[in-house]
């Protein structure tokens, strides 16, 4: 209650905040921001950018600069604590590990739910009009592609209103900013995430009928315009050697990420040059959701060799294919045969390009394409299962990909993300819920029911074993050594966890698995 009153006081003190206010923490706090982040004052760089100032940021910065110029010793963390409200990461419900995992997940929806709140001056949080589900831990806001997999579990739980509220929030973000940002923070506005919005509409249509397609058609069109550079030159489009158009990830900024400022600065220092385009490549990897992975590294190992904007990703282009066929479906329902035919043609052209540029007979796998070298990437990953998920592979390709999947990726706890152990979190030995679900569904599409069930069983068994040992469901898991925790990345493994909960609940229900 005291915290609510304090937040209300701040809101009243500084006046009404415009929902489109985009002044990011680095712009608000200048040298204070830089010092806090580079000195690792709050341990996790995301903490400071999620803080709320207790008074006018200009006055806070002026006081800080005056203290710094005075030459007197002072404690930077104490200064931050005196002038900012730290973000709340405490769950609002108590969860016990002795409960069945399904009960645990259903209780977690309450803990991870965030209700709309009044705008607070100079907060990085972008206001949303409807309730939503956050992943958990340091991830205190809604995330774009996470939400689709979270929705799978919400559907099993019968929380259909929450599903549509999340979609309404994303439609609101599209209307306000022209795209769905990485998350509802102003420092995420320069990028999006894998475009799962059209799949969310599919899910909603299963609940409320085909009218979902026509209701959200304007937002689907805007989503497509963003990714295809129609609404603005976002540079997400790549012209391939044969003249066809495919997509890549491309953040609009070439500065260090505000939430990972120190980490990004260290990457450029390691390279020995201040190259702004390296910052863009790092940010673009964050847009992919795979931050970070050997997929984006020219040497497959070092972050300083990041080349994300040179990679044409197979998974992104499969998602764009789905967006095109969804738009064709929408216009078909509206009896607009001209636009229906247009989007069908665009989808067919993309399907041809996906086969041409991503299928590797040598690797018996779908891989990424490097626009700089004009060759397929030597790195293979579970992104190669997206064409099976969207039924783009022929029967022979699907059979070959299945053999590769079972021979190279299948481990005791499920599927490993890549074959490389780089100590990055989107590499071996880690497994992630969304990629398990995409791969399992892809196998099901081609009649490989037993193999799909086996992978689902391994994953569910690992998730529930960790839960009963720790009381937690994690962001990611070590699928190779079941006695070790998942690792790698810029931050400690988080618990909560939105998409793990959603996929786990869906798989338990689909395959009738018990603990």
Could you tell me if residue 510 is inside a domain? no
> Rounded to an integer, what distance in angstroms lies between the CA atom of residue 62 and that of residue 295?
44
Q: What is the helix (H) or strand (E) element at residue 365, kind and residue range? A: strand 365-366
Residue 230 lies in a domain: no
Cis status, amide bond into 429, omega within 30 of 0: yes
For all residues of the chain together, what is the average pLDDT? 93
| Out of 54-63, 219-228, 487-496, 501-510, least confident range | 487-496
Tell how far CA 272 is from the center of its chain: 30
What does each C-alpha distance from 341 to 217, 320, 331, 346 come to in angstroms?
Answer: 16, 16, 9, 9
Examine residue 33 and state whether it is found in any structural domain, yes or no. yes
Task: Kindly state whether residue 43 falls inside one of the protein's structural domains.
Answer: yes
Q: Catalytic site residues?
A: 291, 475
Instruction: Please state the rounded mean pLDDT for residues 8-24.
Output: 47
Tens of pLDDT, residues 145-184: 999 999 999 999 999 999 999 999 999 999 999 999 999 9
Q: Is 211 exposed, middle or buried (0-12, 13-18, 19+ CB in 10 A)?
A: exposed
Specify if 289 maps to a domain. no
In tens, the pLDDT along 455-469 reads 999 999 999 999 999
DSSP per-residue codes, 43-65: SSHHHHHT-EESS-HHHHHHHHH
Residue 66 maps to a domain: yes
Show the domain range for 66: 19-85
CB within 8 Å of 303: residues ≥ 6 apart: 267, 270, 282, 292, 297, 424
Phi, psi (deg, nearest 5) at residue 298:
-65, -30
Is there a contact between 283 and 259 (Cβ–Cβ < 8 Å)?
Answer: no
Number of independent structural domains in the chain: 1
Q: Is residue 74 part of a domain?
A: yes
In a domain, 325, yes or no: no
Tens digit of each residue's pLDDT (9 = 90 or more) over 18-69: 434 579 999 999 999 999 999 999 999 999 999 999 999 999 999 999 999 9
């Amino acid at each position: 209650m005291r915290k609510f009153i304090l937040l209300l006081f701040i809101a009243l003190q500084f006046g009404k905040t415009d929902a489109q206010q985009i002044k990011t923490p680095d712009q608000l706090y200048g040298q204070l921001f830089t010092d806090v982040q580079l000195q690792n004052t709050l341990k996790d760089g995301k903490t400071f950018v999620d803080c709320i100032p207790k008074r006018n940021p200009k006055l806070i910065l002026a006081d800080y600069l005056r203290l710094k110029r005075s030459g007197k010793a002072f404690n930077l963390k104490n200064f931050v604590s005196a002038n900012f409200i730290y973000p709340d990461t405490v769950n609002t419900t108590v969860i016990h590990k002795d409960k069945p995992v399904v009960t645990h997940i259903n209780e977690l929806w309450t803990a991870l739910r965030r209700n709309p709140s009044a705008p607070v001056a100079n907060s990085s949080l972008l206001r949303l009009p409807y309730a939503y589900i956050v992943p958990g831990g340091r991830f205190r806001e809604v995330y774009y592609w996470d939400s689709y997999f979270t929705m799978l579990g919400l559907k099993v739980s019968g929380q259909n209103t929450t599903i549509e509220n999340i979609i309404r929030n994303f439609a609101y973000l599209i209307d306000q900013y022209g795209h769905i940002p990485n998350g509802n923070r102003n420092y995420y506005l320069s990028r999006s995430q894998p475009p799962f919005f059209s799949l969310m509409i599919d899910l909603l249509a299963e609940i409320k009928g085909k009218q979902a397609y026509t209701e959200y058609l304007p937002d689907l069109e805007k989503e497509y315009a963003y990714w295809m550079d129609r609404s603005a030159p976002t540079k997400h489009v790549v012209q391939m050697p044969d003249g066809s158009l495919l997509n890549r990830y491309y953040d609009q900024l070439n500065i260090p990420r505000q939430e990972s400022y120190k980490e990004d600065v260290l990457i450029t220092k390691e390279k020995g040059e201040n190259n702004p385009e390296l910052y863009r490549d790092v940010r673009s990897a964050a847009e992919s959701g795979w931050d970070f992975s050997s997929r984006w590294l020219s040497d497959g190992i070092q972050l300083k060799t990041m080349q994300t904007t040179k990679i044409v990703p197979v998974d992104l282009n499969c998602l764009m294919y789905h967006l095109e066929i969804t738009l064709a479906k929408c216009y078909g329902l509206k009896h607009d045969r001209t636009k229906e035919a247009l989007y069908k043609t665009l989808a067919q052209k993309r399907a041809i390009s996906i086969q041409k540029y991503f299928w590797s007979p040598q690797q018996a796998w779908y891989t990424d394409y490097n626009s700089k070298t004009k060759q397929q990437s030597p790195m293979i990953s579970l992104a190669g299962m997206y064409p099976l998920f969207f039924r783009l592979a022929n029967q022979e390709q699907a059979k070959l990909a299945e053999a590769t999947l079972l021979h190279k990726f299948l481990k005791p706890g499920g599927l490993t993300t890549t074959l490389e152990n780089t100590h990055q979190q989107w590499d071996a030995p880690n497994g992630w819920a969304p990629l398990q679900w995409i791969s399992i569904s892809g196998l099901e599409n081609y009649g490989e029911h037993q193999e799909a069930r086996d992978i689902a069983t391994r994953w569910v068994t690992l998730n529930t074993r960790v839960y009963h040992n720790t009381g937690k469901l994690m962001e990611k898991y070590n699928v190779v050594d079941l006695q070790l925790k998942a690792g790698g990345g810029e931050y400690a493994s988080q618990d909560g966890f939105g998409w793990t909960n959603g996929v786990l609940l869906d798989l338990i229900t689909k395959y009738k698995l018990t603990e």
